[in-house]
Amino acid sequence: MKIKYKVSKSYQRLKKILLFISLFLNFTAIAKMTQNQSPRFALYPVDSSEKMPDSVLIRDWQNKEIYERPIFLKAAFDGHSFKFSLPIKAPLMMFDIVFYYGKKQLKSLYHFAEPNDDVILYFRAGDRNSSLNVSGVGAIKYQLAEQLGKESMDFHISVVNFDRRTKTSLKLFSDSLVNESEIHSYVDSLKSLAMLSEARSLKILSEFKSRLSPNLLNFYKYECIVGRTKQFVYSGFIKSIKNKKNSAKYCLSRNTGFLEMNNDNPLLKYGTWYVFHKSFNLAIEAAMESAGKELYFKDRYSSLKSIENLELRDRLITYLFAYPGISQRYITNFDSKDSCLTDALDIIKDPHLISELSRDVITKKGNEIFSFSFQDSNQKYIRSIDLRGKVFIIKFYGWGCTGCEQFHKQFKKDIYPEFSKNSNFKVISVSIDKSKERWLQSMESKKYTSEDYINLYIGNKGIKSDFFKYYKVNAIPFILLVDEDGRLIERLHNGMQSTFISTKIRGALAAQKLRVKNSM
């Protein structure tokens, strides 16, 4: 009996081991299947009257922030529909669709795919974008996104129409003072519109409560609602030229009552717009709190570093460096930027975020500018070495770039007049358009550059040029201020304060003058 018991016990142990191995192999196989599974899509016109696009591209935003370039995928046309699948590597991935009708482009709203999706998308072309009717496996979340997206667009239209009716927006943009009561009325009206839109969005979300998981519903609440409308209450401050101090105080007093969340959703790491809105709102709030005083880069960095959710903290810190047009717009003192960057590279561990931060390492003060040689309109090459002994700004722009147009307007009006007669200062304006005709057209338009500058053409490589590759440029305008020895002083950006840029140029010219004097 004793021996029999031992055999039985050994057998039971062996049975458990075999069962464990079997389960492990099954789980591994299932995981592998899930890992290799790609969401599939078929695009059809909504009815026979709908025109078929010439081609369709999908923009894959997986692991991308909104300031980065997406990966482009081409949908295959089978004579009746466009079909595509997505190389998903996570529980959720963001994408949108671009429909091409000749030279016209229409985009869909942003959507999030899951690995098991097998969806039919029926498209209808609108004036500015394409709407989608959705059916199939996983269709419900696309239906929710379409409804929330439509509400967002309707809200934007209501704000535009309100601005046209009141004219207060134009007054704030002008150099004239606007009385406090008018600013208060303007901000209150915008808040009413924003709160109504948020309430409508939450109602839409509630209608899907029984059809989607709590985690997915909360994710869409983060991604499509939180922070989206709040920023419009800050318009009184953002648009003000001479009314910033008064408008800042009132805007801050009216930013209450909006939906806030605890950053604890496990799917949040796969979102994009929530982090964008958070970054934007924090930047504007910091600017309003310091209205009339200097705003230090180190203070903005320290406030982000104190955020308890480390994943959100790291993404917002990366935004501060990688998306300067928004995150650094109102900063007036950048003296500690390089030391903050060193600290950020020490505390952030995510390889993708570190890669984004490394762009700023390349443009640190004192680094030698990457050697360049670009053609002017007479086919003469202007090289970086030809500019030795001069303080210069080199800026890259492209046709249709709103930020490029804004920076040129600001620089030409507020900054350039002080230095235009100084022979030791030059502005190098480089078009990144592959088409030479487009470059000449942009010069003639005077929207992006001036005949007073040295106007150059990057060549047919465009954004694939060695210069752009070296600096890992992912957005334009890309602007560098360089000293007489060819070393970087500052990376400038659209939205940077004119007084700061002027001070930097003034300081560089003074240092250059002193060196010349000492060498005599």
Give me the mean pLDDT over the 336-351 stretch: 94
Q: Residue 64, Cβ neighbours under 10 Å: how many?
A: 17
pLDDT over 70 at 216, yes or no: yes
pLDDT at 12 over 70: no
Give the pLDDT confidence score for residue 8 in this predicted structure: 53
CA gap 409, 471 in Å, rounded: 25
* Average pLDDT of the residues in 67-90: 92
Please report which residue ranges of 84-240 form alpha helices under DSSP H: 139-166, 168-173, 180-206, 214-224, 235-238
Q: What percent of the chain has pLDDT over 70?
A: 91
Tokens of 154: 């309707």
Instruction: Quote the CA–CA distance of 15 and 369 in Å, as a whole number.
Output: 69
Q: Is the pLDDT of residue 201 over 80?
A: yes
**Rounded CA gap, 373 and 371, in Å?**
7
- Its sign, for the CA torsion 291, 296, 300, 303, is negative
Its pTM stands at 0.82
Taking residues 239-250, report their average pLDDT.
77
Q: Are 493 and 325 in contact (CB under 8 A)?
A: yes
User: What value does the mean pLDDT take over residues 207-214?
Assistant: 94
Q: Does residue 481 carry a pLDDT above 90?
A: yes
**pLDDT band of 183, cuts 50, 70, 90:** confident
Q: Rounded to an integer, what distance in angstroms lies between the CA atom of residue 56 and that of residue 121?
A: 13
Residue 20 clears pLDDT 60, i.e. is over it: no
Is it the case that residue 175 has pLDDT exceeding 50? yes
- The amino acid at 341: L
| Residue 21 pLDDT class (50, 70, 90 cuts) | low
For residue 510, with 0-12 CB atoms within 10 Å meaning exposed, 13-18 middle and 19 or more buried, which class applies?
A: exposed
Instruction: Quote the CA–CA distance of 230 and 279 in Å, as a whole number.
Output: 12
Of 18-27, 200-209, 254-263, 302-311, give the lowest mean pLDDT range: 18-27
DSSP state of 487: B
Q: Please state whether the peptide bond connecting residue 53 to the residue before it is cis, i.e. omega within 30 degrees of 0.
A: no
d(CA 175, CA 380): 42
Residue 172 has pLDDT above 70, yes or no: yes
**Whole-number Å distance between alpha carbons of 358 and 352:** 10
Provide mean pLDDT across the span 16-31.
48
Structure confidence at residue 223 as a pLDDT band (50, 70, 90): very high
Cβ atoms of 243 and 183 closer than 8 Å = yes
Q: What is the pLDDT of residues 114-165, one digit of tens each?
A: 999 999 999 999 877 888 999 999 999 999 999 999 999 999 999 999 988 8
In the prediction, which pLDDT does 143 show? Answer: 97
pLDDT at 339 over 90: yes
What is the enclosing helix (H) or strand (E) of 41?
Answer: strand 40-45
Using CA atoms, how far apart are residues 488 and 70, in angstroms rounded to an integer? 29
| pLDDT value at residue 4 | 40
| pLDDT at 2 exceeding the cut of 50 | no
> What rounded mean pLDDT belongs to the chain?
87
- Bridge partners of 375? 381, 457
pLDDT at 17 over 90: no
pLDDT bracket for residue 29 (50, 70, 90)? very low
- Structural tokens at position 123: 């498209």
Per residue in 367-423, pLDDT (tens digit) is: 999 999 999 888 899 999 999 999 999 999 998 888 899 999 999 999 999 999 999
- β pairing state of 40-45 and 118-125: parallel
